[in-house]
Structure 1
Amino acid sequence: MTAERVQGKRQFGHRARLALTPAQVRLIDDQAHASRAMWNLLHDWWTMLPKDKRTLAAADAAIRQARKEIDWLAVLPAQAAQAVLKTYFRAWKNCWDGHADEPNFKTRFRSVMSVDVPQGRDLQITRVHRRWGMVNIPKVGRVRFRWSKDLPVGRHADKDNRITGARLVKDALGWHIALRVTTLEDKPEPHAGPEIGIDMGITVPMALSDGNTKVHTAWLTDKEQAKLLELEQRAARRKGFRKRGERISNRLQRTYDQIASLRARAKRRATDWQHQTTTEIARTYSVIVVEDLAITNMTKSAKGTMENPGTNVAQKAGLNRSIRGEAWGRTVTLLTYKTARLGGALHKVPAPGTSQRCSTCGFTTPGSREAQAVFVCKNEGCGWSGNADHNAARNILHLYRMGLALVPAAGRAVVRHPRGVKPTTVR
């Protein structure tokens, strides 16, 4: 007899591109603007009321009354309006607990346009083609979306495997739907693969301790990079004619939209490369060891203050852009949940000294990297030389095998540090 498999519940999100008609785009745009306006009106109402009258019931009644009296707020579905209220109250709760700053007004151009669909039964998702599916959006109708992942719909859906809700999100490439999915899956058996250490960098994005590397080309082609440069120069010229405080012209806004579209395309390609690379690594290796990098501190500006101005500010700014462009934190996040799903584990080790230690003799000294990619041991009895990135990756794996690993990322307790002063006037 075979042993029964242990099952566990898994919650994840899936993002798909919507194929909208111009009329449907206008309808969803109106809902998104109404959702943002609802947030701003709610924030204004909440902060002006006396403290003893700020309750969820009063806020709910105010939202219902506003949707009855104001036509352009009524285009937002009732459940989406309730989702705005819940999100707003949760934002205040995070502020009271010291996890975030106070909620504020949402601006028209700097806030992400989005609409919530809280209940999955309203979506009525069906698959009509190998590459396309249909979803029902409240007050919009049936909409096609790109089918790129098997979803628990129709006869495959039950109380343990279903879509619980969604959010419509607009970016530079158009409207997308982000589905919230809950499934019941078998817990994986322990992974039988080898251990690996990974050194993350800029010139070589991922260097593995077994000598392999994971590299990528530029996210934009030469033609696309030339087009981006031309658009940025055009935007700079047109911006020079705009007076301070004057509204952005339609020409300049179209140029900004084209720039955002190219940058979004580059980001999408980068994310796709990260997903494919991390999936391959998680399937191959059982234990993955990375450095515990303080990326926020590494990307701080070097401009300094008026009294103590910084040096090499432009060079440091370029380095910061390169570090953020490689998105090391997102790579670690992807590896964390993918290794857990496949029965492996991800560990972090302290970062100091990994690039200066010789992985052959253990001798550590500054200046061992004679070039960006060359490591030369200064120990007279060793003298080993080789690739600096692979040397650092072997040191990372060595720290784990010596028992110096930190708590595994999947089980680490998150410590919240308060930001600012806890508000005392709003409750």
Structure 2
Amino acid sequence: MATRTVKRAYKFRFYPTEQQEQELLRTWGCVRVVYNKALQMRHTAWNQNRQRVTYAQTDRAMTGWKKDPELRFLSEVSSVPLQQCLRHLQAAFVNFFERRAHYPRFKSRKRSKLSLTYSTRGFRFDADGQLRLAKMGSPLDVHYSREFDSGSASTVTVTQDRAGRWFVSVLCESEVESLPTVNRSVGIDLGVKDAVVLSDGRRLNPTDSYDVRRKQRKVEQCQKRVAKKAMGSNNRAKARTKLARATAALADARRDWLHKTTTALVEEFDTLCIEDLNVAGMTSSARGTMENPGRNVSAKAGLNRGITEHSFGEFRSMLEYKTEWYGGTVVAVDRFYPSSKTCSSCGSIKTGLRLHQRAWTCTDCGSRHDRDINAAVNINAAGLAVYASGDGVRPARKPAAMQASAAGSRQ
């Protein structure tokens, strides 16, 4: 079988000493200062003079900031994560100008996620595999759960989640072996009631796992305890910390289910057909404004919560990079293709199908369809057509004469 070299990130948990934690927090504070000052510099230059500031200009400006007596503390930490945050800011502006992301926002001590990126100049692995970061006297106590090639590591990213856990992610090269060809395809319909519905009739849900159900109940219990505590009290702060830990454990369980499900699908099928969903548009708020308030806000909020819990975007990204690694193919069907309304037996389209209707009968051929399974079957057929011809799958409207004759034949 063919093998290929891919970039792969290995994430491990580590337990810093009190001194190491203080050093990491100081570095994070310096990163926030540099990032915010560079963002303000770019913002001011554009609003006042309509000039764009480059990464090189912000890098030179950072050298001057270090000489400022009030910002001398920037020289006390490693310069590698400071330069990396400027590169991240440059990438954020590139994504903004290419309409892939919103305008960059300032980093906040309370809201922003702690993240420090070290390039090859900022870390090294000892002979015994211990990880050492720049300007840190002792190695990190990393609990390695998998083997990886530390010699090919290009970046190391240190993060801390809201539950207070510390993680290190090592990006390095890895050899992966292509899977054998099985000549099988599947259509995948993503939904709220059932997370994943396959064209062969299977329904996959994270709540099928006992671990996910147990941790979901734990989160609900912690939420009730937080709601009963007085605002601003120490007991409320303790309850919020427990809630953060329970939420992090639930997120880990759901992510583990996503990895296991996508890996199993990639191993079982060569071609995976999915819908090109606009997740950002699907989860947009329906609250509206004071002048024009939205309707059915509570129902839309529940729908948004179901979409985000099932992680449609992350599910697709996992499928895409895993099929790229192991030799499969992911085919995205046009998001406007009416997969749920199209009869998989005769191809006619049912008009007026509401979201709460989970099953319907075709008026042309009399076939009874489950809404989700029928959509998965249609996605599979449309995806294979796209893969074979590269043509679109949005159906053409029938001529008025054909629609009239069809309506007359049903009467």
| TM bracket (short chain) | 0.7 to 0.9
Cα distance in 2, alignment partners of residues 209 and 98 from structure 1: 34
Cα pair 1:15 1:179 within 8 Å, conserved: yes
Cα pair 1:194 1:286 within 8 Å, conserved: yes
Cα distance in 1, alignment partners of residues 122 and 287 from structure 2: 53
Structure 1 residues 277, 35: closer, same or farther in 2, change over 3 A? same
Displacement of 1:170 after TM fit? 0.9
Task: Give the residue type in structure 1 aligned to 2:272.
Answer: I
| Residues 1:365 and 2:359 are matched in the alignment | no
Cα distance in 2, alignment partners of residues 317 and 53 from structure 1: 39
Cα pair 1:347 1:406 within 8 Å, conserved: no
- Which residue in 2 is equivalent to 1:395? 378
Size of the aligned set, in residue pairs, is 378
Structure 1 residues 317, 369: closer, same or farther in 2, change over 3 A? closer
Q: Which of 195, 217, 221 is residue 205 of structure 1 equivalent to?
A: 195
The answer for unaligned runs of 5 or more in structure 1 is: 128-132, 240-248, 409-427
Cα distance in 1, alignment partners of residues 220 and 149 from structure 2: 43
Q: Which of 225, 230, 237 is residue 231 of structure 1 equivalent to?
A: 225
Cα pair 1:368 1:377 within 8 Å, conserved: no
Displacement of 1:220 after TM fit? 4.8
Cα distance in 2, alignment partners of residues 20 and 346 from structure 1: 41
More helix, by proportion: 2
- Structure 1 counterpart SS, 2:314: helix
Cα distance in 1, alignment partners of residues 389 and 242 from structure 2: 44
Structure 1 residues 85, 111: closer, same or farther in 2, change over 3 A? same
What value does the CA root-mean-square deviation take over the aligned residues? 3.3
Residue correspondence of structure 1 range 18-29 to structure 2 within 5 A? 18-29=14-25
Cα pair 1:399 1:405 within 8 Å, conserved: no
Displacement of 1:37 after TM fit? 2.3
| Of 284-293 and 118-127, the range deviating more from structure 2 | 118-127
- Structure 2 counterpart SS, 1:15: strand
- Which residue in 2 is equivalent to 1:36? 32
Q: Which of 145, 149, 156 is residue 146 of structure 2 equivalent to?
A: 149
- Which residue in 1 is equivalent to 2:87? 86
Task: Give the residue type in structure 2 aligned to 1:79.
Answer: V
Cα distance in 2, alignment partners of residues 85 and 185 from structure 1: 33
Same amino acid, percent of matched pairs: 25
Displacement of 1:251 after TM fit? 4.8
| Residues 1:277 and 2:261 are matched in the alignment | yes
| Residues 1:108 and 2:93 are matched in the alignment | no
Task: Give the residue type in structure 2 aligned to 1:58.
Answer: R
The answer for unaligned runs of 5 or more in structure 2 is: 392-411
Cα pair 1:282 1:344 within 8 Å, conserved: yes
Structure 1 residues 338, 407: closer, same or farther in 2, change over 3 A? farther
Displacement of 1:149 after TM fit? 2.5
Structure 1 residues 401, 85: closer, same or farther in 2, change over 3 A? closer
Structure 1 residues 104, 312: closer, same or farther in 2, change over 3 A? closer
Q: TM-score, normalization: structure 1?
A: 0.77
Task: Give the residue type in structure 2 aligned to 1:285.
Answer: F
Cα pair 1:199 1:396 within 8 Å, conserved: yes
Cα distance in 2, alignment partners of residues 355 and 253 from structure 1: 46
